[in-house]
Structure 1
Amino acid sequence: MTSDFDSHVRATVAWHFDPDTGSPFWLGKRAALDFDPVREVRTAADLARFPDVSEELRTVPVADLIPRGLRDKPFRVYESGGTTGAPKRIVDAEARGRMLLWARERLTELGVPAAGDWLHLGPSGPHVVGSDVARHAAMGGGLFHTVDFDPRWVKRLVGNGRGDLADEYIGHLLDQAETVLRSQDISVLNTTPPVLEAICARPDLYELVRGQVKAVIWGGMSAGQETVRLLEEEFFPQATVAGVYGNSLMGVAPQRPAHPGDSHRCVFQAHPATTRVQLVDDDGREVAYGERGRVLLHLVTDEMFLPNVLERDTAIRVPPAPGATTDGIADIRTVRSMGQARIVEGVY
């Protein structure tokens, strides 16, 4: 039986390899493929036949990524955090916005306020997360407050053994956050687990958050089950605490509502209309439910086609929620190295 996603795969592959609609990037790769993508890619499983092109996103001219069929759309360029080397670049016009509308519904189901102002303590600039959070706030008619945040600088400090300067930089971020919280009515705080830990270590700032914030959204870095429990039960019991997994390439995978039988406090679900996340072993085979595997991403949209991308994270495979068609993933962990690159995490 053919699934809706299989049909979506066929249509999107045909789009990206049509000379009239495809991007110069993918059209230029067609001759080097040992299969005919339009004729032979019929299901989601066939996406495994494509090469992982994510390394090329560090150097490819971004104009080559824009499909010819969408040249009339205003595209923006976003960069990854550069954790594994030079940043990777993506382009986006409207596809990510559609994904965010879906993610907003999931977060609202968890208890995140549908309206209200947001404070984002995380990257902006070339990083897509700042734009994502701004759009979340705007969707509910809320105002978007942010603090300048350069995660690459913190990672450089940590990688060079300058943890003292990294701590000083975090303090600088928290000073600015405190200024916002003392004068503005903030309903939603979006940041990372290390920054939340730093907030909890500053009594005055912590009390400001406890006193007014109705939802705390964490992401950007992994958090173990005990950390999630502490955030939910000990540090912010007055607020909804929700996690979001994702990055520039895959988009966002919000925490799904808990279901009977879930053994993990936080289970993420990727956007079912455009994204498949598989967890695979060292031989590329999908692991069984309950087992840990490496994150393998397939992003299938009319704007960006990124099949077979092996990510830097591992996770545990969780069965779909009742009524859902895609697996959940839980207990995200970052591998320590990829090839020759040593992975350094700072606060994002």
Structure 2
Amino acid sequence: MSSIAEAVQQRKEQLDQHTREIVQWHFGDDTGSEFWLNKKKEFDFDPLTEVDCFDDLKKFPLFEDDWLRGGPMRRWVPKQYQDKPIYVFETGGTTGIPKSRVVVEDHWIDYEMFSDTLPDDKFPKGGNWLMLGPSGPRRLRLAVEHLAQHRGGICFCVDLDPRWVVKLLKKGKVEEAKEYSNHVIDQAMAILGANNDIKCMFTTPKLLEALAMRLLDNDSSIEEAGISGIFCGGTEFTQQWNRFACEELLGPNVYMTPTYGNTLMGLACGKPFEPADEYKVTYYAPQPRAVVEVVDFDDHKKVVDYNATGRVKLYTLTKEFFVPGFLERDEGEREQPHGKYPWDGVSGVRPYHVFAKTTTVGVY
């Protein structure tokens, strides 16, 4: 058996063990949350005795995002965490009641794990960060700030309301949306020009491009602004855009790592750059705390073959939050395990084709 096959098998066993522990926690009378203890009464199986491995999570019905629209939020908090300080992070919210997730420390843990994947020569310890992304009730804002602090730096943030951008675009007010983008870039330029010694940055593809073009207008560049490491995420992060960004916007000395994530899952890391990949972007979830599968469009319990296309299915398995299978609004291709991440990945992530025409991307 090859070393990669051994690692895959070892991680599978670890995931099965982790799944058992998480299910026992969320459905245990002394530890579980009000939501899952009540939901257990509706199941035709007993999670405590009939979930022995990760594949047994397919016994659960799909997680419904409408469960997250509105409170009481404490029904999601496991009994052991009720006395801890609790955060609420929102996702979406451009129409109707936004989806909300309660968090205690997951955003710290997820980003400390992500920190371990970053090359120190490009994301120097002690280097300051620019958070050029959404503010407000979003996990990203606090998570990136914690990432900067965890690595010994200070985080500088802009004020950005992505819901306003989406509203403008839905009304066809493209010029006003551009003005708002300029307002955000103005803030970033002020931070970069104020002797703050920024070395690292989080941003989205659209905002990275806007910042790079503004710097170019000022006879400067991302590299000349002092930035050596960029962590970037968003639906526009395609293979073509990755090539364009690396070759035209950044140059050979600025490192960029693509990420895929959301408020429910956390952060999936991009596969380390390899010339043979031709800038293809492949993501690997932070197992065992989260798992991503690529499943058949007509049967969410069936994983597609490697290199085949399917819908992204997400699982979140932390002590704070349990999602036993949720169909994302994305599709992509299933990828082989990698030496650094010995489990399945997903590439070519894009809006699910059934929803694509009705999806407004905004700043992402």
Could you say which TM-score interval applies, normalised by the shorter chain?
A: over 0.9
Give the match for residue 347 of structure 1. 363
SS at match of 2:222: helix
How far residue 121 of structure 1 moved from its aligned partner, in angstroms, is 1.2
Q: Is the 8 A contact 1:117 1:137 kept in 2?
A: yes
Give the match for residue 164 of structure 1. 175
The whole-number CA distance in structure 1 between the counterparts of 2:31 and 2:144 is 30
How far residue 221 of structure 1 moved from its aligned partner, in angstroms, is 2.5
CA distances 1:278-297 after superposition (whole Å, capped 9, x unpaired): 00121222111112211100
SS at match of 1:108: coil
Task: Work out which of the residue numbers 138, 147, 160 in structure 2 matches 1:127.
Answer: 138
Q: Is the 8 A contact 1:107 1:254 kept in 2?
A: no
Give the match for residue 266 of structure 1. 281
The whole-number CA distance in structure 1 between the counterparts of 2:227 and 2:218 is 12
Give the match for residue 32 of structure 1. 42
When the two chains are superposed, the root-mean-square deviation of aligned CA atoms in Å is: 2.2
Task: Work out which of the residue numbers 242, 248, 266 in structure 2 matches 1:228.
Answer: 242
Change (3 A) 1:66 1:166: same
The whole-number CA distance in structure 2 between the counterparts of 1:229 and 1:176 is 27
Deviates more, 1:167-176 or 1:279-288: 279-288
How far residue 101 of structure 1 moved from its aligned partner, in angstroms, is 1.4
How far residue 113 of structure 1 moved from its aligned partner, in angstroms, is 2.8
Change (3 A) 1:260 1:235: closer
Q: Is the 8 A contact 1:222 1:331 kept in 2?
A: no
Give the match for residue 291 of structure 1. 308
TM-score normalised to structure 1 length: 0.93
Identity among equivalent pairs (%)? 37
Task: Work out which of the residue numbers 202, 205, 215 in structure 1 matches 2:229.
Answer: 215
Change (3 A) 1:206 1:133: farther
| Equivalences, count | 347
SS at match of 2:177: helix
What stretches of structure 1 of length at least 5 have no aligned partner? none
CA distances 1:125-145 after superposition (whole Å, capped 9, x unpaired): 211011111011001111100
Structure 1 residue 41 and structure 2 residue 54: aligned?
A: no
Change (3 A) 1:55 1:261: farther
Give the match for residue 5 of structure 2. none
CA distances 1:64-123 after superposition (whole Å, capped 9, x unpaired): 110002223222110112368532111111233222111111123794333301111111
Change (3 A) 1:337 1:88: farther
TM-score normalised to structure 2 length: 0.89
How far residue 63 of structure 1 moved from its aligned partner, in angstroms, is 0.9
The whole-number CA distance in structure 1 between the counterparts of 2:232 and 2:137 is 20
Task: Work out which of the residue numbers 75, 79, 90 in structure 1 matches 2:90.
Answer: 79
Q: Is the 8 A contact 1:53 1:306 kept in 2?
A: no
Give the match for residue 89 of structure 1. 100
The whole-number CA distance in structure 2 between the counterparts of 1:34 and 1:297 is 22
Q: State the one-letter code of the partner of 2:140.
A: V
